[in-house]
Amino acid sequence: MSNSNRIDQCFTDLKAEGKSAFVAYVCAGDPNMDQSLKIMKALESAGADIIELGVPFSDPMADGIVNQMASHRALEAGGTFPGVLDLVKKFRETSEVPVVLFTYLNPVYTYGFERFHKDSASAGVDGVLLLDLPPEEAARNNDIQETSELKHIRLIAPTTPEERIPRLASSAEGFIYYVSREGVTGAQTSLAEGISENVENIRKHTDVPVVVGFGISTPEQSATVAQSADGVVVGSAIVRVVEKYADDPDVAARVEAFVKPLVDGAKSV
């Protein structure tokens, strides 16, 4: 299966089954690259349909403290972008689960924008979510124009101006990540209001699947979101498990045990 088609094929298969996707986020290199590979395999075993892999970065502005510390641990353990690519290559030896890189522009620009896309695709990456690069800016700057090697995931938030939603939705590839609440990433005790209505509003402008993240941390929340969205994203809650068991040789098994009920929740509707 070609790299550019894994995400699309995933959603096509799930739609045929009447199921929502479960998207799991972890930071590459947290607590180290060897354990990261085991954790990615554990996420697959737990039933994750797509893995969002955070690229370690020193200034992750959109992330809450849990994900900030994950990035810090990864950097302290020697995490680099070439190391992330090597991690994906090793994962691809046994898996066809789609992988999306979750990153900021700075490390991409430093590595080389075009080179980043080509090397990522060659390693087996399927998509990229550049948190701080609006598509309008990419179109205006020849140095950061998007290429066809990767699917370009778009973010839409409750604060996105109504008139901007059609532009973002029409340029989205793979899926749209609907950020369900304002602020930074982090698990919450309750879901944001208006998720179903906002997802339906986005769907008026695109056929690309819409997944919902930010604040989902329990099987019940996962099931509730899956009722109205094409996918559920869980990140900080998983990263917190990695943090808690970072020094445990069985950290991957701990992650799998935590994630499976969340996956089951998303698949129960």
Predicted confidence (pLDDT) per residue in 147-171, tens digit:
889 999 999 998 899 999 999 999 9
Q: Pick from 239, 267, 268: which is nearest to 255 by CA? A: 239
Structural domain span for residue 13: 3-267
d(CA 149, CA 162): 30
Phi then psi for residue 32, to 5 deg, are -160, 170
Show Cβ contacts of residue 103 under 8 Å, excluding neighbours closer than 6 positions. 54, 55, 57, 128, 129, 130, 131
For residue 228, the SS3 value is coil
Mean model confidence pLDDT for the chain? 92
Quick one: pLDDT band at residue 184, thresholds 50, 70, 90? very low
Distant-in-sequence, close-in-space partners of 176: CB < 8 Å, separation ≥ 6? 153, 154, 155, 156, 168, 169, 202, 206, 208, 209, 210, 211
Query: pLDDT > 70: what percent of the chain?
Result: 94
Closest by alpha carbon to 151, among 89, 209, 198?
A: 209
HSE (CB half, 13 Å, CA atoms) of 249? 0
Rounded to two decimals, the pTM is 0.93
Rounded CA-CA distance 129/146 in Å is: 12
CB 113 within 8 A of CB 119: no
- pLDDT for the residue numbered 145: 79
The total domain count for the chain is 1
214-267 confidence digits (pLDDT tens): 889 999 999 999 999 999 999 999 999 999 999 999 999 999 999 999 999 999
Question: Which band of pLDDT confidence, cut at 50, 70 and 90, is reported for residue 1?
Answer: very low
Give the largest CA-CA distance in the chain: 50
C-alpha 11 chain-centroid distance = 15
List the catalytic residues. Answer: 52, 63
Which residues have C-beta within 8 Å of that of residue 121, sequence separation ≥ 6? 3, 4, 149, 150
Query: What mean pLDDT do residues 75-101 have?
Result: 98
Q: Which residues contact 46 (CB under 8 A, 6 or more apart)?
A: 24, 255, 256, 259, 260, 263
Percent above pLDDT 90 for the chain: 81
**Could you tell me the CATH number of the domain that includes residue 251?**
3.20.20.70
